[in-house]
Chain A
Amino acid sequence: MTAKLSIRDLSFTYDDGAQALQHINMEIFANELFVLFGPSRAGKTTLLRLINRLADLLNGVQRTGEILFNGQDVYNPNLDVTYLRRRIGMVFAVPTPLPGSIYANLAYGLEMAGIKDRRIIDERVERSLRQAALWDEVKDRLQDSAFALSGGQKQRMCLARSLVLEPDVILLDNPTSGLDPISTALVEESLFALKQQYTIIMVPHSVQQASRVADRAAFLLNGEVVEIGSQQRIFIHPRDKRTEDYVTGRFG
């Protein structure tokens, strides 16, 4: 099996000198749901934002090592970063609608990619809203402001908004952080369907969620990978004492 993403000896330091990631190595395979979990400041969000190069927005940072996406280094200067971000979608911890209608939010990525054909856009908007289990709730109010949606609906809209570009990989940064259990279940359910088509890397809300959704998982602590393995291996038979202590709730 070839890796969808290979992270090789990746280290990252913030402008204040704080080392966020140290010598990270991991492989993520196609159509798996890969979970990055660990206590806060473990470097999970930083790692996600390095994969789609949103970390480029930060000043004065230092990065070494490579991230290969389908075998190609995402930090290759010849790579078009807008192309990369269309292939690797992202959903943020706080639902972030853009000002405008639900439809405008969904269509935005396609329009910026230069797609003008309304039929294609309409069709993709509908399909991605269905994939995010939101279509039935919003099909009659696509022109309403996206800010009028509930928290859970907003987050599913954000998921649909990244799916509309038909990416290869989806990065989910704690997508259920502010959601009630029912909305959380809806999002988790859609993830199981989505991984047939996409590769998903997720920072979970909790250890319990990590264990529920993961195919494989990596436990991060203070910017280092402690252990990587299958759901069984990490959550039932961890080999490292620190992993065991964290998943059983002895610290965290």
Chain B
Amino acid sequence: MSRQQTQVLATWLISITAVVVILPIVLVVFYVVAKGIGTVNWQFLSQPPSNGMTEGGIFPALLGTVILTFGTAVAAIPLAVGAAIYLAEYAGDNRATRAIRLAIVNLAGIPSIVYGLFGLGMFVLFLNFGTSILAGALTLGLMTLPVVISTAEEAILAVPQEFRVVSLSLGASRWQTIRHQVLPHALPGIITGIILGLGRAAGETAPILFTVAAFYLPELPKSIFDQTMALPYHLYVISTQVPGMPLSIQYGTALVLLIIVLSFTLIATAIRTVMRRRREW
């Protein structure tokens, strides 16, 4: 085979791998949209399920997911951003810091079902929060920590070192320097990390399985100590646990979940693009 032919072949093979990577996401989205679009309307989004969940909408599950995602944000963001600032700006290169970094990397690799079991043991039973929004949000928050910490730390480290040096040379304290010259410029990256982390949390089933998610509730939750329905678990339930469930409701629910999760990614990308374009340096 001539060098020319090898070149053409290599280009083709590499292009094919790229297409193969894109294909599943396109197919999944296309399939779910095609099957589910007919079901999703205002009624479907705003009504509770009825007649043994075989009719009606998904409102309690949708609301539950919104609440859980918000709770995850409250639980995870301060801790994750604080940890990222510490690691990027304060921590020296010593054994303790290396241990923390190792822990974060490992945290990211733990299967989500293990988070669920940990949440059950720690929050539901030991801390006695019961099967509740609080326990679920804390479990999801814990699972979200590593991704937010890593992206936030990267964003902070990407701020040019000169800004810090100049700020300090002008008599700013260390915290003033971080507050005024580092965090504002790292913010787009930090926000991106937060949104991606929350997007993942919104779509997870295993961590909420034992900690908060209810099969069916006739009423909406009234406090953070109540259980709630949630979209991913609801989808699991109506797909596998309810006999005679119409396919249209299953696909409609899948479509709504998919839209929520994908919109997190899209929002993150949009924020990053806009803020990068506005950057001066």
* Max count, chain A CB within 10 A of own CB: residue among B163, B169, B173, B180: B169
B176 near A112: Cβ-Cβ < 8 Å: yes
Q: How far apart are the CA atoms of A207 and B279 in the complex, in Å?
A: 39
Q: How far is the CA of A90 from the CA of B172 in the complex (A)?
A: 13
Beta-carbon contact of A86 and B171 below 8 Å: yes
Residue of B92, B171, B184 touching A112 (CB-CB under 8 A): B171
Q: Write the nearest CB–CB distance from B56 to chain A, whole angstroms.
A: 53
- Contact A145 to B280, CB < 8 A, known contacts A59-B92, A112-B176, A112-B180: yes
Residue contact A82 to B173, C-beta cutoff 8 Å: yes
Query: Are A83 and B171 in contact, with the CB atoms below 8 A?
Result: yes
Q: Return the chain A residue nearest B173 by Cβ.
A: A82
Bound Cα distance from A54 to B168, whole angstroms: 8
Whether, in the assembled complex, A216 has its beta carbon less than 8 Å from a beta carbon of chain B, the answer is: no
Docked-complex contact A109 and B171, CB < 8 angstroms = yes
Q: A83 to chain B: which residues have CB within 8 Å?
A: 171
In the bound complex, residues from chain A placing their C-beta under 8 Å from that of B176 are 112
CB < 8 Å neighbour of B170 from A57, A99, A100, A109: A109
Residues of A within 8 A of B168 (CB): 54, 57, 85
Q: Is B219 an interface residue (CB 8 A)?
A: no
Question: Does B166 count as interface, using CB distance less than 8 angstroms?
Answer: yes
Are A108 and B167 touching (Cβ within 8 A)? yes
Name B's interface SS: helix
Count contacts on B: residues with CB < 8 A to the other chain: 22
Contact A85 B166 (CB under 8 A): no
B117-169 at interface with A (beta carbon < 8 Å):
162-169
Asked whether any CB of chain B lies closer than 8 Å to the CB of A52, the reply is yes
Interface pair A162/B169, CB less than 8 Å apart: yes
B172 touches A108 (CB 8 A): yes
Contact with B along A137-180 (1 / 0, CB 8 A): 00000000101000000000000011001000000000000000
Among B162, B168, B180, B184, chain A packs the most CB atoms within 10 A around the CB of: B168
| Minimal beta-carbon separation of A167 from chain B (angstroms) | 9
B181 at the interface (CB under 8 A from A): yes
How many Å lie between the Cα of A54 and that of B279 in the bound state? 27
Q: Does A40 contact B (CB under 8 A)?
A: no
CA distance in complex: A172, B164 (Å): 18
A112 touches B281 (CB 8 A): no
Among A89, A96, A100, residue most surrounded by chain B Cβ atoms (within 10 Å): A96
Residues of A46-76 whose CB lies within 8 A of B: 52, 54, 57, 59
Contacts beyond the supplied A96-B162, A112-B180, A147-B281: 8 A-B pairs with Cβ under 8 Å: A59-B93, A86-B171, A89-B170, A92-B165, A92-B166, A108-B170, A108-B172, A112-B173
Residues of A within 8 A of B (CB): 52, 54, 57, 59, 82-83, 85-86, 89-90, 92, 94, 96, 98-100, 108-109, 112-113, 145, 147, 161-162, 165
> 5 nearest interchain CB pairs?
A86-B171, A109-B170, A112-B172, A85-B171, A90-B169
